Amino acid sequence: MKIISILYRRLLPLALVTLGLVAAMGCHHKAGTGTFDPLKVAFRVQANPLLDGQLYPSLILATDQTAMNAGRADDDAALLAPVSLSLVAPRDNSVLRIVIDSSALNYVTIFQEVLPHRGETYTFQPSIKWKYDALRSLRQSRPLDLTFTCYINDEAVDIKNLRLAARPVNECPLSLRDADTLLHTRWLFAAYVNEDHPYIQNILTDIVDNNPSLRLSGYQNGDRNVTEQAFAVWYYALDRGITYSSISCTSNPSANANVQHIRFFDEIYQNRQANCIDACVFFASILRKIGLKPVIFVEPCHAYLGYYTDKNRRNIALLETTITSWVNLPDLQRSLQPDGSLPEEQLAKVAKYLSEKQLDDWNNQRMDFDALKLALARSLFEKAAEYDRETYQTNREHFADSSNTAYQQLDIEQLRQRVQPISF
């Protein structure tokens, strides 16, 4: 015990000196206590004023952030980085390192640059390492706190905190504005078209099972087969009972953003509800999967679908997708009476979509229910093809004018160069 006591008395001062050195080294790296004056460095972190403090997962997931930050993206995308930072170089060739702490929506991110000229102000838009699965899963708004630590030549100079409002992934900004800029972002509709969705393969299997002679071959077998492929998708949606339902409003508090809630492919499939843009997203996803070239036409307060009937894009067919709600085939089937007939009130709802011969065949039992469904689907498909023809012809010049943001022709194939589908 005596030996231990002597060793303790001799080692204790050395331990205290060592701890003091460690503490001193730690203090040297605390922000604002070293060589560089934080006031002169003037480190600032700012939310993008165009986004008004909102973080839109749809924008992050849909756009190529790597290309954006390398200056290879279009001008619109370059304006959409959620955060910018600025500072004044305290020395020539200062080495700047920014560390962004992890949060529920991002991993630790390290951003590094050399600042060549002393006294010059530098501004950057750091590419944040997002947790993409967390962004995809965000269905309600939540606050997001980000912490930025600024190092100059490995010395911690300053720390800034920034709070953003992370929006649900279903929120699609249509336009954004600040004091100096108005940016239209309806091209983001293309992000909700998802030709890679795993549900689509099962849908195509069902379509082929019900149409053994149909070839889902894109443009390989002529214009007529293109129309039959489009009709097969139409019939599937009608037979599934997809009906019109508008839920475009959101809780977004920003007065500077025009935002719409858009359902994803699986939500439309499972809930069997869609508004005009939702239905366009649903149809465009399947048409693109089978090799056709869909287009979404956006007008003030409405959207409808188009698709090229030839691979050279010379001719386009239209489809008013909301017409699927005019007849609910599953409801009609549930109303069948034991003898296979329809109640008078149900038959009266659909009779206007049948020819006199078709109606006579049904009333005299020369047509079964499957044939009735097919006849109704054909009739509605023809009406959907003509419904928007007049307004399309009237507004063709507007669609062709890229500066007219109220009328936009969103070619999904072309937009895929810069807008990726938000994955399932």
Set out the domains of the chain in order of their start, with CATH numbers: 34-169 (2.60.40.10), 172-415 (no CATH)
Separation between Cα atoms, residue 51 and residue 82, nearest integer Å: 7
Tens-place pLDDT, residues 244-303:
887 666 667 777 889 999 999 999 999 999 999 999 999 999 999 999 999 999 998 899
Whether 266 and 197 have beta carbons less than 8 Å apart is answered as: yes
For residue 73, the tally of other CB atoms under 10 A from its CB is 18
| Residue-wise burial string across 236-263, b where 16 or more C-beta atoms lie within 10 A, e elsewhere | bbbbbbbbbeeeeebebebebbbbbbbb
Mean residue pLDDT across the chain: 88
Higher pLDDT pick, 26 / 168: 168
Rg (CA), the chain: 30
Separation between Cα atoms, residue 265 and residue 157, nearest integer Å: 47
Separation between Cα atoms, residue 379 and residue 414, nearest integer Å: 32
The β-bridge relationship of strands 142-152 and 155-166 is antiparallel
Q: What angle do CA 276, 265, 213 make, to 5 degrees?
A: 95
Q: What is the pLDDT of residue 252?
A: 75
pTM of the prediction?
0.86
Tens-place pLDDT, residues 385-422:
999 999 999 999 999 998 888 899 999 999 999 899 99
Tens-place pLDDT, residues 30-50:
555 679 999 999 999 999 999
Most distant CA pair in the chain, distance: 115
CB-based burial label for 315 (10 Å; 0-12, 13-18, 19+): exposed
Tens-place pLDDT, residues 64-117:
644 444 333 445 556 899 999 999 999 999 999 999 999 999 999 999 999 999
Cβ neighbors of 208 (< 8 A, separation 6 or more) are 214, 216
Mean pLDDT calculated for residue range 119-138: 96
Tens-place pLDDT, residues 194-246:
999 999 999 999 999 988 889 999 999 888 899 999 999 999 999 999 998 87
Separation between Cα atoms, residue 120 and residue 97, nearest integer Å: 17
Q: Which residue bears the tokens 């249509």?
A: 174
Q: What is the pLDDT of residue 29?
A: 45
Residue 174: C-alpha distances to residues 7, 136, 182, 320, 386 (Å) = 74, 19, 11, 21, 27
Picking from 312, 287, 286, 284, the residue whose alpha carbon sits closest to that of residue 297 is: 284
In DSSP terms, which residues pair with 121 in a beta bridge?
A: 88
- The string of DSSP codes covering 333-393 is HHT--TTS---HHHHHHHHTTS-HHHHHHHHTT-S-HHHHHHHHHHHHHHHHHHHTHHHHH
Whether 412 and 283 have beta carbons less than 8 Å apart is answered as: no
Q: What is the pLDDT of residue 118?
A: 97
